[in-house]
Amino acid sequence: MPLPRFLCHRNLTLPADFTTLVTGARLNLGYPTALRLLRCGARVIATTRYPRDAVARYLNEDSGIWKERLEVVGADFRRIHSKNQKRSFALGIRHLMMYKPESTRQTPNQQPV
């Protein structure tokens, strides 16, 4: 799966205080994006509707190097209707870059299963 252009450079390093919020980080584009950011030195807050499954997937990788910089949070953004509510989720984080791949956007009117 292709990564965003800014993540494709092999020697990419990020400052130690660089924190990212990646939504939809269990599968598809969010998962490899979060892995790449972790491997580049970033602290990653990964949100998913299935946090236990996400943790298991991340632990199958080279997690010994970066697992202390990963925080997996169970969050179902289908039920959050305003951008302010999403932003309030990330309060208290000093340096935050929000990166949300377009392919992980939730369908607004999707009914729960």
Phi, psi of 52 (to 5 degrees): -65, -40
Instruction: Give this prediction's pTM.
Output: 0.64
Position 5 confidence tier, pLDDT thresholds 50, 70, 90:
low
Helix (H, G, I), strand (E, B) or coil at 18: coil
Residue 1, pLDDT score = 45
54-64 per-residue burial string, b: 16 or more CB within 10 A, e: under 16: bbebbeeeeee
Distance CA 78, CA 34 (A): 21
Q: What is the token pair recorded at 76?
A: 């179902």
Per CATH, the number for 12-103 is 3.40.50.720
Phi, psi of 97 (to 5 degrees): -110, 120
Give pLDDT tens digits for 27-39. 888 899 899 889 8
